[in-house]
Chain A
Amino acid sequence: MVHYLDNAATTPVRPSAVNVMLPLLTETYGNPSGAHRMARDANRVLDDARATMAEALGAQPGQIVFTGGGTEADALAVRGTVAARGGIPVCSAIEHHAVLDPVHHLGGRVVAVGPDGRLDLAALEEALDPSVSLVSVMLANNETGIIQPIAEAVEIVRRKAPGALFHTDAVQALCWVDVAEAAAAADLVSVSAHKFGGPKGVGVLVVRDGADPEPLLLGGGQERARRGGTQNVAGIAAMAVAAAETVAERPAALPRVAALRDRLADGIRAALPGVVETGVVGDGGPGAGRRHKTANICHLCFEGIESEALLFLLEKEDIMASAASSCASGAIDPSHVLLAMGFERDLAFGSLRLSLGYGTTEADVSAALAVVPAAVTRLRERGS
Chain B
Amino acid sequence: MTAGPAHQRRVLVAMSGGVDSSVAAALLAEQGHEVVGVTMKLWGGDSDSGCCSVSDVDDARRAAQALGIDHHVFNFADDFQRHVVDPYVEDHRLGRTPNPCVACNRHIKFDKLFRRADALGFDLVATGHHARLVADGHGARLVADGHGARLVADAGRAGAPVRVGRAADGAKDQSYVLHMLSQAQLRRLVLPIGGLTKAEVRARAAALGLVTAAKPDSQDVCFIHSGTGRRTFLGDRIPLAPARLVDTTGREVGHVASVELVTIGQRRGLDLGGDAERRYVVDIDRAAGVVTVGRQQDLLLTHQAVDGVSWSHEPEPGPLWFQCSAHGQPRAGRLEIGDDPSRATIAWDEPQPRVAPGQSVAFYGADDRADLVVGGGLAAAGPQRDGS
Show the binding face of A for B, using Cβ within 8 Å: 308-309, 312-313, 316, 327-333, 345, 349, 378-379, 382-384
Contact = CB atoms under 8 A, between A and B. Distances in A.
Interface stretch (B22-30, B111-119, B185-193, B271-279): B111-119
24 contacts: A308-B74, A308-B75, A309-B120, A312-B72, A312-B120, A313-B120, A316-B121, A329-B39, A329-B41, A329-B54, A329-B57, A330-B39, A330-B72, A330-B73, A331-B57, A331-B74, A331-B75, A331-B77, A333-B75, A345-B78, A382-B119, A383-B115, A383-B119, A384-B116
Q: Kindly state the interface size class of chain B when it binds its partner.
A: 20 to 34
A349 B77 CA distance: 12
Nearest to B112: A384
Interface string B75-93: 1011000000000000000
Contact of B52 (A329, A333, A379): A329
Contacts of A349: 78
Contact of B41 (A331, A345, A379, A382): A331
Top-10 shortest CB links A-B: A384-B119, A382-B119, A331-B41, A331-B75, A330-B73, A329-B57, A331-B73, A384-B116, A328-B54, A329-B54
B1 interface: yes
Contact of B73 (A313, A329, A383): A329
Contact of B119 (A316, A328, A330, A379): A379
Contacts of B41: 327, 329, 331
A379 B121 CA distance: 10
Contacts of B53: 329
Interface of B: 1, 39, 41, 52-54, 57, 61, 72-75, 77-78, 115-116, 118-121
Given A329-B41, A330-B57, A378 B73 contact: no
B54 A384 contact: no
A372 to B, nearest CB: 15
B54 A309 contact: no
A308 B78 CA distance: 14
B178 to A, nearest CB: 23
Given A329-B41, A329-B57, A331-B77, A308 B119 contact: no
Which of B61, B77, B118, B120 has the most chain A CB atoms inside 10 A of its CB?
A: B120
Nearest to B56: A329
Given A308-B75, A309-B119, A309-B120, 4 more contacts: A330-B57, A330-B61, A332-B73, A384-B116
Contacts of B121: 313, 316
